[in-house]
Chain A
Amino acid sequence: MNPRRVAAISAKEFIHIIRDPRTLLIIFIMPVLLLMMFGYAFNLEIQDVRVAVIDDDNSALSRQLIERFEGSPFFTVFHYQGSREDLETLFLERDARAILSIPENFAATLIGKHPAGIQVIIDATDPNAATSINNYCRQIVTDFNAGLSGGAAMPFTLESNIWYNPEMRSAPFFVPGILALLLIMISALLTSITITREKESGTLEQILVSPIRPGEIIIGKVLPYILIAFLDGSMILILGVTVFKVPFVGSLFLLALLMALFVLTALSLGLILSTIASTQQVAMMLAFVLTLLPTLLLSGFIFPLASMPLPLQLISTIVPAKYFLVIVRGILLKGNTIAELLVQVLWLAGMSVVLLTISWRKFSTNLER
């Protein structure tokens, strides 16, 4: 290994990167935009559900019940005046997502010590929202009953204790995901493209006739990307901690170390892709399907893995980002130590070794041919 030759290759690669300002812009602007977008938009908790009320009773009690709905932060209540036959129009026009119907004699029945029924019709097109709406309605009814009887709502209490993120904010959840996505994009996608580009244009052959060794080429070529990956990663972390108030409980040193491990895994993935792909086009498509999509979908970044069918869960075991997300979330929020993250670390290290060995072999035989 000759450091001077490696440096020469790295310098050349840097010039390539700087000469392509559009890609560079995407690398540094994209994470900021992503963070902003997730920061403002990522909110899965339903809000502001419009409820149409049909109050056929119009009594003090029925108004009391409606007030409870109005008092809930989840519901926006309005009175429906239209015809009963056209109720569905409310859903078809998307004017309301639930309809609360209080029958005539509602108060009279209750005062007569009989159970009185009220009906709630929920637009269940979005099953997740429907479940939440249903739960909130039940809660209101339970509270209302408790008020009527003057007794306790439940024969027990449920006290919940949310750890690490008591306000249940989304930022601590998505910032690590964006970090993983960007690191994969730079380390796997960009490196595979840059190596294939040289293969395509024939410059790789030009370099090969020089006394340089394959290992020096690879290290020289990936060094700048490692640097960019670290710059980008630090930027995301700093923004996450300062702007989005993500707690940082654990060790910075450990995080940096394991980030390096993840970058290594991603780079070896990129190297494998570049040995398979003959053109940039193919490299891009492969990188897209094999790195970006799994990182987005099958890592637990947004969609919970446990809810997926078994085949997808099996695939997710070889998605590096899955382990990296646990590492980052664990260090940032839980203050996990390396011993506690051993499983994840071993998976990443194992994957790197396997991928590197394969790509090393393929790369040297490819070049000798």
Chain B
Amino acid sequence: MTKIFYMIRKEFLQIFRTREMVAILFIMPVIQMVVLGFAVTNEVKHITLIIADRDNSRLSREIVAAFSNTDRFDITGRETDVREIGLDIHRWKAQAALIIPNHFGRDFRRGLRPDIQMIVDGLDGNAAGVSVGYAGGILREWAEAQARQTPRLAMVKQNTPQLELIERLWYNLDLRSAQYMVPGIIVVLLTIISMLLSALSLVKEREVGTLEQLMVTPLSRFELLMGKLAPFLILAFIEFFVVLGAAQVIFPITMKGSYALLSLEAFLYLFTTIGLGVMISTIAKSQQQALFLSWFFMLFLLMMSGLFIPIANMPQFLQDLTLLNPMRYFMAIIRDVFQKGSGWQYLFTDTWRMTLLGTLIFAVSVLRFRKRVS
């Protein structure tokens, strides 16, 4: 055991002697946290909109006002000529246009159900769908308010029964994107740091030749790997708390669950990522290749983790494939602990699957890592 102590001490000496390393460990993640935290969102806001109010009545002006009072849409122009509107969308001046027809107010009051038209640039299919949804919502709300003011215009005839929907949102009442995304980003940062650093540190020793020297010492394979990896496990763990703290200071998010439970889960997760690091180090011949491979791995882990593409949306075979992605489990765990305050009994399935996967990855990597040269 004392041999491992010497290994760990040496690794820490090396890490803290390099100033860049300290920056990479403790400053970079916080910067990345800020950029990613603000950039990674699946919210669609500020859709640029042209309004064509051909009616210009009191009612149509109310609709225009309703559209300008939301941050979902930014009204960028008013134009009644359909040809001009088309050209504006074609030339990227606006993403959508709302056309209120002539005599809209009059027809509306007469109950003739006038036709409001919306043109949307469908390049970004998701944004297009969402903006039609938003527009529908704004119009429906406006119409309901009208109905209350002037019952004559109500959507339903008087004296017919009506169903009212009472909505209750649990956990994230203000529907803040950060509350959902930032914990996910903590997972991403933790993965990058632990996987990349353990891979690079092993590959570097091989490149320089010191690994060969270590291999002829009586250190067992276990001692050698533990001595190399324990420092990164410890550092990544400290890292986890740094990022966790920074996230709560920078973003308006709350943590509902138990820190002890979350730390335990993070610790289990780190075994899988460090195992992946060892795996990469056994494949890569140089630090450059290790970096490429990590970036490649990372992209796949990330896409398949549910960070911004919900796993339930994927076709079945991809959903099955995500079962092999350790990041998927920790992503779900951290989000549930953060928002729902879930106890261990609810995270049990995710935890054992993640741990099993981690053990497998770790075992395979350690077996692949020979104490011999190839």
Contacts and interface: CB of A to CB of B under 8 A. Distances in A.
- Mutual binders A and B: yes
Interface of A: 22-23, 26, 30, 33-34, 37-38, 40-49, 65, 88, 91-94, 109-132, 134-135, 137-138, 141-142, 144-146, 148-170, 172-173, 193, 280-281, 284-285, 288, 292-293, 297-298, 302-304, 306-309, 312, 326, 329-330, 333-334, 336, 340
A137 B165 contact: yes
A44 B159 CA distance: 41
Interface in B137-165: 137, 139-140, 143, 146-147, 153, 155-157, 159-165
A154 B292 CA distance: 56
A115 B162 contact: yes
Interface stretch (B112-120, B209-217, B355-363, B365-373): B112-120
Contact of A46 (B116, B117, B122, B312): B312
A151 B156 contact: yes
Contact of B335 (A48, A125, A132): A125
B69 interface: no
Nearest to B346: A92
B89 interface: yes
Interface stretch (B5-13, B223-231, B271-279, B283-291): B283-291
Contacts of B43: 127-128, 304, 307
B342 interface: yes
Contacts of A111: 161
B123 A297 contact: no
A297 B120 CA distance: 24
Contact of B168 (A23, A119, A126, A152): A119
Nearest to B153: A155
B119 A304 contact: no
A120 B167 CA distance: 5
Contacts of A127: 43, 172, 175-177, 179-180
Contact of A148 (B91, B163, B172): B163
B45 A307 contact: yes
B22 interface: no
A110 B162 CA distance: 7
B90 A334 contact: yes
28 contacts: A34-B299, A40-B318, A41-B314, A44-B310, A91-B340, A116-B161, A116-B163, A118-B165, A121-B169, A123-B170, A125-B339, A126-B180, A127-B180, A145-B156, A146-B155, A151-B155, A154-B155, A155-B111, A155-B147, A156-B104, A157-B113, A168-B125, A172-B125, A297-B39, A304-B45, A336-B90, A336-B91, A340-B91
B336 interface: yes
A152 B170 CA distance: 33
Contacts of B127: 304
A153 B164 CA distance: 14
Interface in B276-313: 285, 287-289, 291-292, 295-296, 299-300, 303-304, 308-310, 312-313
Interface string B314-358: 110010000000000000100110011011001000000000000
B79 to A, nearest CB: 16
B38 interface: yes
Contact of B123 (A126, A151, A284, A333): A333
Interface residues of B, number: 101
Given A46-B310, A141-B165, A340-B90, A155 B291 contact: no
Contacts of B125: 165, 167-170, 172-173
A124 B41 contact: no
B166 A117 contact: yes
Contacts of A288: 291, 295
A141 B165 CA distance: 7
A17 B163 CA distance: 68
Contact of B175 (A94, A118, A124, A312): A124
Given A132-B133, A304-B124, A124 B170 contact: yes
A149 B153 CA distance: 14
Given A120-B166, A168-B128, A303-B39, A113 B159 contact: yes
Contacts of A42: 309
Given A160-B132, A165-B125, A307-B45, A47 B313 contact: yes
A128 B181 CA distance: 11
Contact of A165 (B122, B335, B346): B122
A144 B165 CA distance: 11
B161 A114 contact: yes
Given A40-B318, A123-B170, A281-B287, A312 B35 contact: yes
Interface centre among A37, A110, A158 (most CB of B within 10 A): A158
Contacts of A113: 159-161
A159 B139 CA distance: 12
B26 interface: no
